[in-house]
Structure 1
Amino acid sequence: MAADAPGRTLVVQNTPGGGPGRLGDWLREQGLALEVVHAYDGGRLPETLHAHRGLLVLGGGYMPDADDRAPWLAPVRGLVRQALESSVPMLGVCLGAQLLAYVAGGTVRAAHGLPESGSTEVTLRPEALDDPLFGGLPSRVKAVEHRVDAITRLPGDAHWLARSERCPVQAFRVGESAWGVQFHPEATAETVRGWDADALREQGFDRDELVRTAEADEAESARNWHGLACRFASVVAAGGRAERGPGAPESVPG
C-alpha cells in the first residue's frame, strides 16, 4: 500500500478472530485505506504513524500491559502514545479502548465486576451530545459486549461519553480525536454465534439466547454504528480536525 494512500489507516488485530468485520467495511466505504496488521501472528507493526492518517486498535483477551503473553502490546502502546501526541485520529475497541485509557493515565482491572456478553443497552452521558462521533446517536443504544476486564479510572482529562448497567466506562474520548469503546461495533449476531457456549454458561449466559437478542437488535445496531464509523472516517479524512466537544466531565469513575 502506498504511503500516500488517501485516508491510510493502521488496523491492529490482536486475535485470530478479532478482525475489523463490518466496521472495516464501513470505513472502506467512506474512502479509508485500511492496513490490517495481524500483530498476534508476528505481523510487522510500523515504528511510527508518520505514513498513516488514522489508527484502529481492535479487541483481544489481554490486559493492556500483558507483555509476557502478548509481546506486541508494547509497540502498540507506543503507537497509541504517538497518536495522542500527534493528534492522529484513533478508535480503540475493547482491548484497544483499554490500551488508550492505560497509555493516557487511566486504570484497567482484570475480571472486574460482572461480565457482559451479547447485545447490551448502553446509555450516553450528557457530554456525548456534542461529541464528534457520538453526537448523532440516540440516548440509549444497543451494542454487542464481550468483556470481563474493565476500565475503572479514566485519565484525568478524558471525556466520559457512555456507560452500561454493569460497566461504567463504555465510551470515552481523550483529547479531540482519540476514542475508546468497550463494546464491539464490528460484531454481529453471527459473531456471537461463534463464541464458546461452555465459557458463556460459566458466566451465566445462554449463547442461543444471546444470538436471538443480537439478531433482534441488529438492524438498529448496524444503523447506529455505521453512523459512528462514517463520522470517524470524516475525522480521519480531515486530518484529525473535528468539531470540539464540551469540556472535561465533572466526574469520572475512580
Structure 2
Amino acid sequence: MPEVIVLQHQALVGPGTLPELVAERQWTWRLCRLDCGDPLPQYQQPGQILVVLGGTMGVGDRDDPAFGWMPAELALIRARLEAQAPVLGLCLGAQMLAHVAGGAVEPLTQGDPPQALPEVGCGAVQWLPAAAEEPALAGFHACEPAFFWHGDRCRLPAHAVLLASSLACREQAFRMGPCAWGLQFHAEITPALARSWVEAAPDFVKRAHGAGGVDRVLADLEAWGERIQARNRLLLGRLLDALAATAPQA
C-alpha cells in the first residue's frame, strides 16, 4: 500500500486536499512538520511517495539558520531524484526539485522594463504540446484554472520536460524522469486555505495587484475557487496515482 509523506514548512501552508485524496485511495499518509523539528523520512522506503509543500521562504534561504532543515531536505529530494523514487513538488517544492536537478531559482519578473513582481491569485495555466504525451494529463482542457502564490520562478535544466505555463511564469508544470513532477501553482489549494493566505499576507497581494488587490483576489476566489479546487483535485489525484505506479515495492 502506498504511503504519502508530506513535508510541510509553515503552519499556514498546509496540505489542502491531499489528506482527502489519500484517504479515498485507502493509502496511508504522514505529515512531517519540518518547521516544528519533525525528522525527515528515511531516504527511500517501499511504496513511499514524497510530496513537498510550499512556503514563504525560498531556495535562496537554504543557508539561513532560521531554516536549518532546508539543506537536509534538499539532499533528500536530490537522493530520491537520482534513485528515481517518486517526488511531487508544489510551489516551493517544485523550485527545490528544479534546484537539486541542476536548474536555478530566481525572482519572478514581469513588465517592460522587467521588475520583480509576484504572481498571486486566480488565473489559468496552459498545457503545452508535451502534456499530450502524458497519460496522467489526458482529458484536461488546453487551459485550466489555477491559484498562484509565488514570487520566484524556476529555470529548468535541459533534461526537464516543460508541461504548462501561465502568462506571468513560463515554468508552471514539469516532469523530470519518470518519477518526479513539479507544479508551481497550488494544486492542493482549497478556497478556505487560499483566503487564509490573503488575510495573513495582504501586503504580498498588494505587491502583485495594487491597493485593491485583496478585494480583487477574494472576489475571484468567490467566483472561481470551487472550480479551481475541483479541477486541481482531479489533477493532483491523477499525479498521485501515476507516482504510486512508479513507487518501488517491497
**What count of residue pairs does the alignment treat as equivalent?**
235
Quote the residue 2:230 is aligned against.
Answer: 223
Instruction: Between 100-109 and 199-208, report the one with greater CA deviation.
Output: 199-208
2:10 maps to which residue?
Answer: 15
Contact 1:7 1:236 in 2 (8 A): no
Letter in structure 2 aligned against 1:59: G
Q: Deviations over 1:144-180 (max 9, x none)?
A: 10111111x2111100000011101001000012100
CA contact (8 A) 1:119 1:210 kept: yes
Measure, in 1, the Cα distance between the counterparts of 2:171 and 2:204. Answer: 24
Structure with the higher fraction of residues in helix conformation: 2
* Residue 123 (structure 2) pairs with residue 120 (structure 1): yes
Specify every segment of 5 or more residues in structure 1 that has no aligned partner in the other structure, as ranges: 1-5, 242-254
Q: Once the 2 structures are TM-superposed, how far is the Cα of residue 46 of structure 1 from its aligned partner? A: 2.3
Query: Which of 93, 98, 109 lines up with 1:96 in the alignment?
Result: 93
Per the alignment, in what secondary structure is the counterpart of residue 44 of structure 2? coil
Note if contact 2:47-2:244 (Cα within 8 Å) is conserved in structure 1: no
What letter is aligned with 1:147?
A: H
Q: Does 1:37 align with 2:26?
A: no
Q: Gaps spanning 5+ residues in structure 2: where? A: 111-116
| 1:74 matches 2:71 | yes
1:35-74 equivalences in 2 (<5 Å): 35-50=30-45, 53-67=48-62, 68=64, 69-74=66-71
1:13-36 CA distance string (max 9 Å, x none): 011111111133223312331111
The 1:120/1:73 distance shift into structure 2, 3 A limit, reads same
Which runs of structure 1 show a deviation greater than 4 angstroms over 4 or more consecutive aligned residues? none
Alignment TM-score, normalising by the size of structure 2: 0.87
**Aligned CA-pair RMSD:** 1.9
> Aligned partners of 1:99, 1:52: CA distance in 2, in Å?
22
| Contact 1:188–1:214 (CA under 8 A) maintained in structure 2 | no
Q: What displacement does 1:65 show?
A: 4.4
Equivalent residue of 2:40, what SS? coil
Residue 122 of structure 1 contacts residue 162 of structure 1 at CA under 8 Å; is this kept in 2?
yes
What is the identity percentage for the equivalent residue pairs of Structure 1 and Structure 2?
33
1:164-179 map, 5 Å: 164-179=166-181
Structure 1 letter corresponding to 2:242 = V
1:130, CA displacement in angstroms? 1.9
Q: CA deviation at 1:200?
A: 1.7
Distance 1:197 1:144 in 2: 16
- Residue 111 of structure 1 and its aligned partner are, at CA, apart by 4.9
Corresponding residue for 2:218?
Answer: 211
In the alignment, the residues of structure 1 paired with residue 243 and residue 128 of structure 2 have an alpha-carbon distance, to the nearest angstrom, of 24
Q: CA offsets per residue over residues 193-244 of structure 1, 9 Å max, x none?
A: 2222233223325222212212322333233222222222322332349xxx
Instruction: Give, in angstroms, the shift of residue 56 of structure 1.
Output: 0.1
The answer to whether the Cα contact below 8 Å between 1:132 and 1:231 also exists between their aligned partners in 2 is: no
Alignment map for 1:215-254 (pairs within 5 Å): 215-240=222-247
> How far did 1:91 drift?
0.9
Distance, in Å, in 2 between the alignment partners of 1:160 and 1:224 is 20
- TM-score, normalised via structure 1 length: 0.85
Q: For residues 57-78 of structure 1, what are the alpha-carbon distances to aligned partners after superposition, in whole Å with 9 as ceiling and x for unaligned?
A: 0001222242213111111112
Aligned to 2:80: 83
One-letter identity of the residue aligned with 1:49: Q
